[in-house]
């Protein structure tokens, strides 16, 4: 097994310099550190993580905390893309990522106990459910731990957030340009910050274009729930004056609207237009393809990882809130209407 001393002898630097280079320390010349890491790779050096953790009091592990009741982060298209891009950035800097679903009880005890037991160097927190008290308690009680929120905002914490306000507004503007004046919105979990931002964007766009939005056009559904979306879609389409365009909670939930439209003998987009949210590959596979708002999930993961690395290196770094815009992906599910 190649040791740190072997690397030092090969490249001609001290063991202390090699240790600094391989542990990402900044008090060593950048070119020297690069050369040492290159030699270490050529020799096949693998660090003894247990020994390094004891010496440096660091684990080189980042906790990826989320709260999902019925799935895992890797089965959720949007969060999986965020997690994968964050992992890519972290791995290049020598960190591993450990996903932790707070919705599942740990044998160690509470979320706080579990994370302290794992001795994470930092944490990325996704999908904050304000009913998930263990997660919010952990965020509040772990002030010394570098932490970045994703799609959530907590005072005193840095955050990277998809601009849901602008995204929903852009979808309404798109439908309006296509001639639609009766636009309904099936929104997701009402208490989440994501939904509140989307509702605000929807309402402000409707006000700007002087669109009438009766209460029946705003219906609460659920994210990633085709059955709930199908039920609400059926209610909308049996109104005395049904909408001509329906915005679904997300692309996956839109499956329910597609299926229910067929059951009701409605053609998309001839009888009713549909729009989604997220921009996952499924949207392109639907027939007709779904017009949607693609969130910059990879950009969100990368920026969140970069912010966290900056905090790990300098815990006095100021908090930042970064909003990343999405982009309209035009499918065939929105019919142009004559005005």
Query: Residue 296 is encoded by which pair of tokens?
Result: 């910059």
- Averaged pLDDT for residues 8-25: 85
Question: Quick check: 300 pLDDT over 50?
Answer: yes
pTM metric for this prediction: 0.79
pLDDT at 54: 47
DSSP 278: B
Task: List Cβ neighbours of 226 (8 Å cut-off, separation of 6 or more).
Answer: 252, 253, 254, 255, 256, 259
Evaluate the CA torsion angle 327, 329, 334, 339 in order and state its sign. positive
CATH 3.40.30.10 is held by the domain 4-56: no
What's the mean per-residue pLDDT of the chain? 88
pLDDT at 200: 97
Q: Which CATH architecture has domain 61-162+298-326?
A: 3-Layer(aba) Sandwich (3.40)
Confidence category of residue 124, pLDDT binned at 50, 70, 90: very high
Q: What is the pLDDT of residues 88-116, one digit of tens each?
A: 999 988 898 988 887 666 545 666 666 76
Confidence category of residue 149, pLDDT binned at 50, 70, 90: very high
Question: Quick check: 80 pLDDT over 80?
Answer: yes
- Averaged pLDDT for residues 292-307: 96
d(CA 273, CA 270): 7
Q: What is the pLDDT of residues 187-212, one digit of tens each?
A: 998 888 899 999 999 999 999 999 98
- Averaged pLDDT for residues 151-157: 83
Q: Are the CB atoms for 61 and 95 separated by under 8 Å?
A: yes
pLDDT at 339: 61
Q: What is the pLDDT of residues 126-146, one digit of tens each?
A: 865 555 666 777 777 777 889
As to burial, measured by CB atoms within 10 angstroms (0-12 exposed, 13-18 middle, 19+ buried), residue 93 is middle
Where are the chain's structural domains? Answer: 4-56, 61-162+298-326, 164-294
CATH topology of domain 164-294: Rossmann fold (3.40.50)
Query: Residue 100 is encoded by which pair of tokens?
Result: 């932790």
Question: Quick check: 337 pLDDT over 60?
Answer: yes
Task: List Cβ neighbours of 45 (8 Å cut-off, separation of 6 or more).
Answer: 2, 3, 4, 6, 7, 22
Please state the φ and ψ torsions of residue 155, each to the nearest 5 degrees.
-55, 135
Q: Establish whether domains 4-56 and 164-294 are of one fold.
A: no
d(CA 28, CA 31): 9
Query: Directed axis angle between helix 111-118 and helix 133-141, to 10°?
Result: 50
pLDDT at 74: 80
Return the SS3 of 320.
coil
Identify which has the larger pLDDT, 156 or 81: 81
Task: List Cβ neighbours of 301 (8 Å cut-off, separation of 6 or more).
Answer: 81, 82, 83, 84, 85, 86, 87, 88, 89, 150
Q: Are the CB atoms for 168 and 332 separated by under 8 Å?
A: no
Q: What is the pLDDT of residues 32-46, one digit of tens each?
A: 988 998 998 888 887
């Amino acid at each position: 097994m190649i040791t740190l001393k072997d690397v030092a002898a090969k490249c001609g630097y001290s063991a202390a310099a090699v240790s600094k280079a391989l542990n990402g320390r900044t008090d060593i010349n950048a070119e020297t550190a690069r050369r040492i890491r290159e030699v270490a790779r050529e020799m096949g050096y693998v660090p003894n993580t247990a020994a390094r953790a004891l010496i440096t009091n660091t684990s080189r592990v980042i906790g990826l905390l989320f709260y999902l009741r019925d799935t895992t982060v890797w089965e959720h298209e949007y969060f999986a893309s965020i997690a994968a891009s964050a992992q890519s950035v972290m791995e290049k800097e020598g960190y591993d990522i450990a996903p932790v679903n707070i919705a599942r009880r740990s044998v160690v005890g509470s979320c706080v106990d579990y994370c302290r037991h794992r001795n994470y160097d930092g944490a990325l927190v996704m999908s904050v459910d304000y009913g998930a008290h263990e997660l919010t308690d952990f965020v509040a009680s772990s002030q010394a731990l570098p932490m970045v929120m994703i799609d959530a905002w907590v005072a005193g914490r840095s955050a990277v957030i998809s601009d849901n306000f602008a995204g929903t507004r852009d979808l309404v503007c798109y439908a309006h340009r296509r001639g639609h004046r009766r636009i309904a919105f099936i929104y997701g979990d009402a208490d989440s910050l994501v939904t509140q931002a989307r509702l605000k964007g929807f309402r402000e766009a409707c006000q700007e274009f002087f669109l009438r939005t009766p209460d029946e056009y705003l219906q609460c559904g659920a994210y990633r729930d085709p059955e709930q979306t199908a039920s609400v879609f059926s209610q909308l389409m049996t109104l005395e004056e049904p909408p001509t365009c329906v915005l679904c909670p997300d692309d996956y939930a839109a499956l329910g609207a597609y299926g229910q439209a067929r059951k009701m003998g409605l053609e998309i987009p001839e009888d009713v237009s549909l729009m989604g949210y997220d921009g996952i590959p499924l949207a392109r596979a639907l027939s007709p393809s779904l017009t949607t708002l693609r969130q910059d999930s990879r950009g969100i993961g990368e920026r969140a990882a970069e912010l966290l690395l900056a905090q790990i290196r300098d815990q006095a770094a100021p908090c930042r809130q970064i909003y990343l815009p999405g982009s309209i992906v035009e499918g065939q599910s929105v019919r142009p209407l004559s005005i």
